[in-house]
Amino acid sequence: MTHRSPRRGLTMVYTGNGKGKTTAALGMALRAVGHGMKVLVMEFLKGQLPSGEREAAKRLAPELTVLAAGGGFVPARAEEWPPTVRKAVERGWRQAEEAVSSGRYDMVVLDELNCVVDYGAVDIADVLSLIKRKPPHVHLVITGRNAHPGLIRAADLVTHVRSTRHPFAEGVPAQAGVEY
């Protein structure tokens, strides 16, 4: 199914304290692949943790690519991160900027970028600049808690995901296929 009508590349933000931000972005990525689009997902902060989406992307390559661009869960201040994590995130950000600007992808998902900005590892001015200079056909999806107010103003679509109940609060560990 290929549908290549002219489109306006949107900037979409999924934020809030509830579960489902990455899941929503991955659903959009899957839908885009179904329409013949080429999609890149950059997973900031997930590092080498198990990732069902990375395994699934192998089956959908080359239309869907999922890359790790960080080093797992980290303290909430970038200056406290191990140097290897900081370098991986910086390298991932440069790679994300190049991928968006290149126009090779129809959709780029920057998973957990809101956290990376909130923690001080990427400057919000750089994110806003990327949004302004992205090619007009590229959809940009940004996820993570604590979206910067400037990003919320710049986005075409903003969804706040609110938590009502989560099994983790009841001691249920993360479930494969649900949380990762």
Measure the CA–CA gap between 77 and 115, rounded to whole angstroms: 10
| 28 pLDDT more than 80 | yes
Going by pLDDT thresholds of 50, 70 and 90, the confidence category of residue 178 is confident
Question: 2-27: per-residue pLDDT in tens?
Answer: 555 567 999 999 999 999 999 999 99
Stretch 155-163: mean pLDDT: 96
Tell me the sheet residues that pair with 160: 15
pTM tops 0.85: yes
pLDDT, tens digit, for every residue of 82-120? Answer: 788 888 889 999 999 999 999 999 999 999 999 999 999
Query: Where in the chain are the domains?
Result: 11-162
Q: How remote is the C-alpha of 76 from its chain's centroid? A: 18
Q: Percentage of the chain with pLDDT > 70?
A: 91
Dump pLDDT digits (tens) for 33-65: 999 999 999 999 876 677 888 889 999 999 999
How close are the terminal C-alpha atoms of the chain, in Å?
28
Provide CATH code, domain 11-162.
3.40.50.300
Write the pLDDT tens digit of every residue in 125-146.
999 999 999 999 999 999 999 9
